[in-house]
Amino acid sequence: MTHPRLSRATFAVSVVIVLLTILAVARATKALDPNLWQLLELPLVDGARNTIILSLTIIPLGLGIGFTVGWARFSRHPIISWPATLYVDFIRGVPPLVLILFAFFWIPSLFAGASFESGLAFAAFALAMHTGAYQAEIFRAGFQAVARGQIEAGEAVGLSKGQVMANVILPQTFRVTLPALGNEFALVIKDSSLLSIVGATDLAYWGKQSELGLLRLGSIEWVMLAWLIIALVYFVVTYMVTQAVGAVEQSYRVPGIGSVAF
């Protein structure tokens, strides 16, 4: 159990440590040159914005896929559960980078007049499918964590199947899966950097783009500093998301329902 005040303290300490490190590097390399900031400011703002947009698109998509596939995996009908199992097994066995390249280069070629943007959309969707496979396993475990007897008890008081789902299964699945889902969201934010390979102008993309200019203007330390700043932005975004999930978890906490610490 993480105490809210303790979390804030950890956060403050982490930020201070990272900032101190950056300052130390900057001082050691005399990097506080106005040229550096000129070179970094626009890409950083643009990149951070795009990273956040990508994450906020992929996370809900992945959540939708994960919930649906997880529910299908939980189903007792093989016609429903079998394709879901195939999906999870396949996607988990392929590196997300390969999925992205496949989605970017191959899928758009099936459609006439496909654009770069559509390729990028497919690539983002590939990442959603990837996290969806992992989230499906989280949801399946979450559904299975609801004791069969409680479903029976819900039916025994006269609830319909839909009411049992809404009032007995989902509230418990939600509580059990939340910590693991928060973990998965954090992975998505960082995995979204893979989309820079196919030209998404996110933080990682701008980091890569700035390297040459920074080298010409300064030194390898400048490049390192740029990546350090980018890492810090990833850290802050991820931290905010995991803290938000933690806060939701805290407010729905019920004694006796599995809270997996992470």
The one segment of 19-27, 35-43, 204-212, 249-257 that binds another protein by CB under 8 A:
249-257
Q: How far is the CB of 167 from another protein (least distance, A)?
A: 6
Which two structure tokens, joined as six digits, stand for 192? Answer: 């979204």
Q: How far is CA 21 from the centre of its chain?
A: 26
- Which of residues 155 and 211 has its CB atom nearest to another protein in the complex? 155
Q: What are the helix and strand counts (H, E) for the chain?
A: 10, 0
Please say whether the beta carbons of 47 and 230 come within 8 A. yes
- Which of residues 53 and 145 has its CB atom nearest to another protein in the complex? 145
- Which of residues 160 and 219 has its CB atom nearest to another protein in the complex? 160
- Which of residues 47 and 142 has its CB atom nearest to another protein in the complex? 142
* Of 80, 182, 172, nearest in space to 135 by CA: 182
Burial class from Cβ neighbours inside 10 Å (0-12, 13-18, 19+) for residue 89 reads exposed
Q: How far is the CB of 143 from another protein (least distance, A)?
A: 14
Q: How far is the CB of 155 from another protein (least distance, A)?
A: 6
Please say whether the beta carbons of 81 and 72 come within 8 A. yes
Q: How far is the CB of 256 from another protein (least distance, A)?
A: 2
Q: How far is the CB of 169 from another protein (least distance, A)?
A: 10
Sign of torsion, CA 206 209 214 219?
A: positive
Q: How far is the CB of 165 from another protein (least distance, A)?
A: 12
Cβ contacts of 114 within 8 Å, gap of 6 or more: 108
What is the residue-wise DSSP string for 187-245? HHHHHGGGGGGGT--SHHHHHHHHHHHHHHHS-HHHHHHHHHHHHHHHHHHHHHHHHHH
Scan residues 132-161 and list those touching another protein (CB under 8 A): 147, 149-150, 152-160
- Which of residues 217 and 257 has its CB atom nearest to another protein in the complex? 257
Confirm or reject binding of residue 256 to another protein (CB under 8 A): yes
Scan residues 161-200 and list those touching another protein (CB under 8 A): 163, 167-168, 171-172, 175
Candidate list 79, 110, 112, 254; residue touching another protein; CB under 8 A = 254
Q: How far is the CB of 257 from another protein (least distance, A)?
A: 6
Q: Which residues bind another protein (CB under 8 A)?
A: 147, 149-150, 152-160, 163, 167-168, 171-172, 175, 254-257
